[in-house]
Structure 1
């Protein structure tokens, strides 16, 4: 994927907005002040902003009190329909996409602020821009960066899956132009398909082998790995980490990302791999309980190779193998040779 710099994206968006606003009075003082009073905050976008430590929040507050709000807050000009508001779908709205902490403090302290209006085609484009913008900041922590990259990966995979499953009766067009019909059983297997289509050659649920052309051989993880200059496996681990954190309550997730609560990243990744998890994790105690439960379930599902039951089976098949070997050596008949082959196969199964 071609990567534009943040400066290029910002300039492009700003130019687009300026052109759109030339014919109205949005640039006037009164109109700008009206926009400021009606800025909308979406939780799903606000949660992409890494939380500040208490000391960082207090430092920001002190800085605003001393020097004012110098940098403009970024808002997205869009309409109600694009943010799933059904009333008056074509009405223009302004959504905050950067400066949430400054916005809060400026209102509390009655500090004037400026805005920069940006234009995006969709909320997905906004999310990707916000993730890129946050990852470009120097004060972001490794955990926060991992969470943002994971969100980006999970969003990309969801888009791919949704495109393939627009309707039960639809045919899908693969990158090589091949038309593939998905029946009801394929629709029910969309999670399996999502995993398969991330490989260079995918197997659809109906058994069809999908060969992608050279331009499509990179997986989503490879694409994003190159985009963010990290390893493909790092992106996949980030995805598990993001899915795990998304199973936590917003407050608990914020505490972890802010560094106020210390949790081993591997535990969160393990929880992220669980498809069905009842309820939301609200505290460290609940997290430990869920993690221990998952560990217990895994250990009971995978019996030890050296359990007494396994050892007994191995011994039985070993004796059967030696007996068959002796019989085949002595008789040299096809019947005993075939029996030897069978005994040898079963012995290998027991020890593997």
Structure 2
């Protein structure tokens, strides 16, 4: 740890890419922090990534730094070494998870970020400890670490991805959601985890977020209904083909005549009642079959 001086103050850099990983404070929390700093000074050091002799990237203490700058409050700094920005992000995530005052959404967000970060570090392979070594899935290890279910970790990851996408379009809205100032259902946030980022660019406020979530939910329901209908139609088609094959193999002539007779009556009814052109075409084919059975050689 070293005492801060004017030269280093001028070289402290706040990176938006790292700042977005910092839990936002509510207005009450920020005002209380400001009062404490003004009356008691800045007791804890700001953590910086000493990227080079020229740059000190802030990784912890963003709110204190802002207040100290505004009211000319002196502070100390502690330097950390990272090989790259991903290491810095991982440190921030773990540091935030160590806070005692995280609300449930913030805890979920950071667990999800840690899950995604570990997967990325492993090259996307969630079932290996390292190359060539088998190990438990990432979500299993994190579930044990945080004493939650594996499904919770998976939902946390989707929640974190959804919030990150929203943050790219509207950082303030993301902060308000995490701080609890805006009440948005977690299930709505999760809907944004697997969609094209272009769809999120139109989100300007909570109303836009709610409307877009409704659109996504309706689209998902429509896709499910369409798939169920296709599956049902496919099963009906396969059943009809099976009946036709059995008709050819096992039915004697009179049985086949009676079946065709029943099918003809059904086709006539559908053609008349529904004006169904398909039924008319089916009727022609059935009459030809009946003709073959009755007058064929």
The reply to whether TM is greater than 0.5 is: yes
**In structure 2, what is the Cα distance between the partners aligned to 1:318 and 1:278?**
42
Q: What TM-score results when the alignment is normalised by the length of structure 2?
A: 0.71
Q: Deviation string for 1:99-152 (max 9, x for gaps)?
A: 111111111112221222222333222211111111111111111111122222
- Aligned with 1:263: secondary structure? coil
Q: Distance in 2 between matches of 1:101 and 1:316?
A: 65
Q: Alpha carbon RMSD of aligned pairs, Å?
A: 2.9
Query: Which residue is equivalent to 2:9?
Result: 36
Residue 61 of structure 1 is matched in structure 2 by 34
2:79 is paired with a residue of what secondary structure? Answer: strand
Structure with greater proportional helix content: 2
Report the CA distance shift for 1:275/1:228 in structure 2 as closer, same or farther (over 3 A). Answer: farther
Superposition pairs for residues 1-352 of structure 1, below 5 Å?
32-79=5-52, 91-161=53-123, 194=124, 197-199=125-127, 215-248=133-166, 249-280=170-201, 281-303=203-225, 321=242
CA distance in 2, matches of 1:37, 1:276: 36
Say which SS state the counterpart of residue 198 (structure 1) adopts.
coil
Segments of 4+ moved more than 4 angstroms: 304-307, 309-331
Asked whether the 8 Å contact 2:127–2:134 carries over to 1, the reply is no
State which structure, 1 or 2, has the greater radius of gyration over its C-alpha atoms. Answer: 2
Q: Distance in 1 between matches of 2:232 and 2:56?
A: 68
SS in 1 for 2:13: coil
Deviation at 1:77, TM superposition (A): 1.2
Unmatched 5+ stretches in structure 2: 253-297
Matched residue of 2:218: which SS? helix
Seen in structure 2, the aligned counterparts of structure 1 residues 134 and 113 have a Cα distance that, compared at 3 Å, is same
How many equivalent residue pairs? 246
Q: What's the CA shift for 1:49? A: 1.2
SS in 1 for 2:43: coil
Name the SS of the counterpart of 2:225 in structure 1.
Answer: coil
Runs of at least 5 residues in structure 1 that lack an aligned partner in the other structure = 1-13, 15-26, 80-90, 162-193, 201-211, 332-352
The alpha-carbon distance between structure 1 residues 125 and 276, as it changes in their structure 2 partners (threshold 3 A), is: closer
Question: How has the CA–CA distance of structure 1 residues 35 and 310 changed in structure 2, closer, same or farther, with 3 Å as cutoff?
Answer: closer
